[in-house]
Amino acid sequence: MKIGVLALQGAFIEHIGALTGLGCECAELRQAADLEGIDALVLPGGESTVQGKLLRQLGMLEPIKAMIKDGLPVLATCAGLILLAGKIEGGETPHLATLPVTVARNAFGRQLASFHIRGKLGEWTDVPMTFIRAPYITKAEPAVEVLATVRNHIVAVKYKNQLALAFHPELDEDIRLHRWLMQLAESRKA
């Protein structure tokens, strides 16, 4: 099982730590050629504007978009969720646009710039959620499954093989979401 972790900018090291702990081989993705042979993809947190710009400059945006449309399992966190979103509030140009949701960037406001809670996600309880200048989803198409809400805002969704989160599971000890990504990749391979 080889999982590609976008390594252009942001918090990718922590995802690699979580995945190698689960026995995955990880590939750090820095150019289009690195996408070869990956079974799943992680889009880490960071700065979505910078990541989107680099993806375009490096010719990685279109290949990644095609792979996701073809069913490649993805775990996207924070800035990664913004990269996936079909629409960004404020009229910013979307990036991969494979996930039919609208996101608002830095949406929890100044006072709540960063916070940590534990909450429900789908069937799971007590899931740690660390938010750092986090976006939230303001609108999701009916086909999108809402997995978690915080303060009445959507913060985790699943759509086909895309898992998208406004928070950072890689910064906490809970490995259930990374394991879920691996399971999606295993079922796709089988």
Give catalytic status of residue 95 as yes or no: no
Does position 92 interact with ligand GLN (CB under 6 A)? The reply is no
Residue 110 Cβ vs ligand GLN, minimum distance, rounded to whole Å: 12
Neighbour tally for 11: CB within 10 Å: 17
- Nearer of residues 104 and 140 to ligand GLN, judged by Cβ: 104
Does position 87 interact with ligand GLN (CB under 6 A)? The reply is no
Alpha-carbon gap, residue 5 to 75, rounded angstroms: 9
**103: nearest Cα among 57, 138, 79, 58:** 138
Q: Which of 1, 9, 34, 47 binds ligand GLN (CB under 6 A)?
A: 47
Give catalytic status of residue 78 as yes or no: yes
Residue 20 Cβ vs ligand GLN, minimum distance, rounded to whole Å: 21
Does position 82 interact with ligand GLN (CB under 6 A)? The reply is yes
Say if residues 78 and 132 touch (Cβ distance below 8 Å): yes
Q: What are phi and psi of 91, to 5 degrees?
A: 85, 10
From residue 2, alpha-carbon distances to 27, 38, 42, 107, 110 in Å are 7, 5, 11, 33, 38
Per-residue contact string for residues 103-122; x = within reach of ligand GLN by CB under 6 A: --xx----------------
Stretch that binds ligand GLN, among 45-53, 60-68, 94-102, 140-148 (CB under 6 A): 45-53
Alpha-carbon gap, residue 121 to 1, rounded angstroms: 25
Give catalytic status of residue 92 as yes or no: no
Q: Applying CB under 6 A, which residues contact ligand GLN?
A: 45-48, 78-79, 82, 105-106, 132-133
| Enzyme catalytic residues | 78, 168, 170
